[in-house]
Amino acid sequence: MKKQPYLDKLFYFLNIVFAILLLLSYLLPFISPKSIPAFAVLSLLVPFLIIINLIFFVYWLLKLKKHVFLSALTLIIGWFFSTPLYQFSEKNDSLNSDIRVMSYNVRMFNYYQWNKDATIAQKTSTFIKEKNPDILAIQEHRELKEISDLYAYKYVKKKSPSNKFGLAIYSKYKIIHTGSLDFKHTINNAIFTDVLVAKDTIRIYNLHLESLGINPKKENFGEENSEKLFKRIRNSFKKQAIQTEQFISHEKNFKGKKIICGDFNNTAYSWVYKQISRNKKDAFLEAGKGFGKSFNYGFPVRIDFILTDENAIINQFKTFPVKYSDHFPILAKINWHATVQ
């Protein structure tokens, strides 16, 4: 019998490691970061693990090796028990009464000049004007007249009176109630507005959960202080869990129609996402196509979401890969009527 080449043995060993990690990641939605915060870090790597296992699957398939079954079985389990990484078809319906909702982390409209392009704020406002959402939920907001002038109603919540930055919800519909969850010991927060659409009251939440502090332009994990980075991320996940519990406790008291927008700073494979999306529809999964990548990082990461109550109908979902921030804006057309025109 011909001996297995050394390279194939090495590849198979690595295949086993990555398959085990991906299998472990399927448990993430069921384990609170408060109990095992280090385990939650794995949620950021799930898209990478899926892609690596796909590569191993194709490699062994082309070589006609029985090793192909390891990644095949791992991916099949994920297909049935995990959130899809990629959507193959999209929904592109439309109703005149659709509510067009955009969620966008604008990174303070380039206030600190992370991008050398001095026209970023203008480009961002022009983009928003072109897309013309009825509801605009902004994270890392700062006041910009060009945006304010587009909307008759708004609710802006800064972290403190002296702080220029915070969260905002802009609306073409009348806002009849507003509020803030006021997360403790953080610059992050969640706010809400109740808007009047015809005779319906619809609650809009804008969430910005604890940031992880990962710089997409710099590979932090290779730095000498990677241990400090890991500790900071681990602590951030613990804070996210506390914020998620606070949000769920608040939103369960509103029984009507609702839309949840925001930057969760976590993926669809996390405990945070599972808790917030329970008994809700994910606009990307309902009507989106592709990876839904919303964070400008090396591999497809979806950390920005638009969710609705189960009775809503998502007629369209789009992600726009415009590089005016480290996040990409997402937009959904939402309705509660079934007839499409």
Q: What is the pLDDT along the chain (341 residues), one digit of tens a residue?
A: 455 688 888 999 999 999 999 999 999 999 999 888 888 888 989 999 999 999 999 999 998 899 999 999 999 999 998 999 999 988 989 888 999 999 999 999 999 898 999 999 999 999 999 999 999 999 999 999 999 999 999 999 998 777 889 999 999 999 999 999 999 999 999 999 999 999 899 999 999 999 987 665 554 445 556 677 778 888 899 999 999 999 999 999 999 999 999 999 999 999 999 999 999 999 999 999 999 999 987 778 999 999 999 999 999 999 999 999 999 999 999 999 765 44
Q: What b-and-e string marks burial along 306-323, b requiring 16 or more CB atoms within 10 Å of the CB?
A: bbbbeebbbbbbbbeeee
Together in a domain, 73 and 168: no
Determine contact, residues 316/91, Cβ cutoff 8 Å: yes
**Which CATH number do you get for residue 244?**
3.60.10.10
Together in a domain, 178 and 321: yes
Determine contact, residues 225/278, Cβ cutoff 8 Å: no
Determine contact, residues 308/258, Cβ cutoff 8 Å: yes
Nearest CA among 239, 253, 234 for reference residue 188: 239
pTM strictly above 0.75: yes
Together in a domain, 76 and 128: no
Torsional class of 270: left (φ above 0), alpha (ψ -120 to 50), beta (otherwise): beta
Together in a domain, 193 and 279: yes
154 is in which domain, residue-wise?
99-335
Distance CA 109, CA 122 (A): 9
CA 7 to chain centre: 38
Determine contact, residues 223/215, Cβ cutoff 8 Å: no
Establish if 172 belongs to a structural domain.
yes
Together in a domain, 66 and 162: no
Together in a domain, 324 and 251: yes
Establish if 39 belongs to a structural domain.
yes
- Number of domains within the chain: 2
Together in a domain, 77 and 103: no
Give 202's strand partners: 195, 257
Establish if 305 belongs to a structural domain.
yes
Half-sphere exposure of 284 (CA within 13 A, CB side): 27
Pairing label, strands 257-263, 153-158: unpaired
